[in-house]
Amino acid sequence: MQSTNEKESFRFTAGEMKEIGYKVIDSIVDHYTNLDEKRVHNLKRKEELRPYFDTEIPVRGTDPLDMIDHLNQHAFSNIMHTDHPRFYSFIPAPTNYISAMADALAAGYNVFAGHWMSGSSASEIENITIDWLLKLCGFPESGGGIFVSGGSVANLMAIVTARNTKLKGGEQGAVYFSEQTHSSLTKDLRILGISKEYQRPLAVDKDLKIDIKELRKTIQEDLNSGLKPLMIVGNAGTTNTGAVDPLNELSKVAKQYDLWFHVDGAYGAASIVTDYGKNALRGMELADSLTLDPHKWWFQTFEIGCLLVRKESHLFNAFSTSAEYLEDTKSPLPSEKNYYDYGIQLTRSFRALKFYMSMKVYGLDLFRKSIKKGIEMAEYVERMLRRNPDWKIISPAQMGIVNFQYQPDGVGDEGANELSKRISEQVLQDGYALIITTKIKNRTVLRMCPIHPELTREEIDETIRRMEHFGKELVD
């Protein structure tokens, strides 16, 4: 290939582009086919990494094939593989090959999905996929939605929509949520200038779900003091334990006090396609808005989150805009949406394509079976741990998540907390799996979210065996 430092334009020949493309695809295929043989986590310190990448701004180019080799060797080999079958931490991000290829197509065509004029087909595909999600989640025909980067932005947009719908200009309103709610919510409130005076993190019950009595009491106290309530946030699968708040009850409280009801289902909402999820998520369909993340349990590549609303007009009223240079983009047909009127971004990528292609290629049944398997795998982890009395279940398997401690006889609670940290460190160094800690009721616990569709019971058995080995060594 002609050296790029001799090139005088950004163009490559068709043959050169294919050669580069084949090398990229080969790298991705190798990643997918050999992923289960790799270490789950490869962490290097800054001083180790900097020499690989820190050079002066390049004045002349380098061979792209050499560049790909360099990145494979030093960049993609030093990351956390959130799509690895034995990545059990946070919320895993198992992906699928069609989703990755859809991203490549959307990027290659550089689709602008901000308005109908620039990407009518992209907008219509987004309309269709949003309609699919509305139907699956039980929202009415008046509903609408938009794809965004992730749950953090979706939650932020939900607050903006609630405030625009329920409050008058400049008015503040209190937001009620459980202390187990995702950290993005308090960050979003801070971004929007909603002071702590209007933030109401509430206690949870023994199952780590929002306490309804405490909620009612707090709302009434605020009303008595002259403070305006705005919205209630319910969880459809918390990050810590997979707990689902009593959504039906939250909906009743919201209606009683005329509050906006938002459900954060960034992780758990996808389970609605299973019998387990339909039972666990009763009341989710009553929400005014719902966050869900296809890059979690819908097995899509980063980034694709989603906000659904019960009334599409609420989203439009909160985010629609106009400018002289946008006049020609306005369509006389309301069904031909300009998505810049429904969200934060004007310039936005074709996120819907990967979800659309994945659904069309694989079909909903495969997604349903895969989500069901993740739920069952967490239950299997719990059963295996209960066979050994040295393991203590702190939060039983629910929504694909289980929390536990290693606490043999003679080890106190503080010792068990320390063992959780040390076992997690050993697992990290070992590289076979990745399990980190969290805190539940002041206890430092190990947490597993075994939802990868390709994960096997044998891998879970081996993971537990290794943790037990590390635990015994630490105790001895």
The CATH number for 421's domain is 3.90.1150.170
Q: Are residues 279 and 394 in the same domain?
A: no
Q: Does residue 32 form part of some domain?
A: yes
Q: Which residues pair with 437 in a beta bridge?
A: 446
pLDDT tens, position by position, 19-68: 999 999 999 999 999 999 999 999 899 999 999 998 889 988 999 999 99
Determine how β-strand 401-406 pairs with β-strand 391-398: antiparallel
- Tell me the percentage of the chain whose pLDDT exceeds 90: 94
- Within 8 A by CB and 6+ apart from 117, the residues are 328, 329, 331, 338
| Cβ atoms of residues 377 and 455 within 8 Å | yes
Residues 325 and 290 in one domain: yes
Look over the chain and give the mean of its residue pLDDT values, rounded to a whole number. 96
Instruction: Identify the domain boundary among 331, 347, 362.
Output: 362
Q: Does residue 127 sit within a domain?
A: yes
- What lies within 8 Å, CB to CB, of 455 at 6+ separation is 85, 86, 377
In this predicted structure, the answer to whether residue 3 has a pLDDT above a threshold of 60 is no
Specify the CATH number for the domain of residue 232. 3.40.640.10
Residue 71 has pLDDT above 80, yes or no: yes
Task: Tell whether 371 and 350 lie within a shared domain.
Answer: no
Asked which of 176-185, 240-249, 302-311, 323-332 is least confident by mean pLDDT, the reply is: 323-332
pTM for the whole structure: 0.96
- Find the mean pLDDT for residues 178-206: 96
Q: Is residue 92 part of a domain?
A: no
For 336-393, the pLDDT digits (tens) are 999 999 999 999 999 999 999 999 999 999 999 999 999 999 999 999 999 999 999 9
Task: Give the domain-ending residue among 53, 81, 109.
Answer: 81
CA distance 432 to 266: 28
CA distances from 200 to 173, 217, 226, 384 (A): 11, 12, 15, 39
**Residue pLDDT, tens place only, 395-441:** 999 999 999 999 999 999 999 999 999 999 999 999 999 999 999 99
Please choose, from the candidates 287, 349, 361, 307, the residue with its C-alpha nearest in 3D space to the C-alpha of residue 122: 349
Q: Could you give the strand order of the β-sheet that contains 391-398, starting from the edge strand earlier in sequence?
A: 391-398, 401-406, 443-448, 437-440
The answer to whether position 90 is within a domain reads no
Distance between CA atoms of residues 353 and 66, nearest Å: 31
> Residue 59's domain spans which residues?
4-81
Is residue 218 domain-resident? Answer: yes
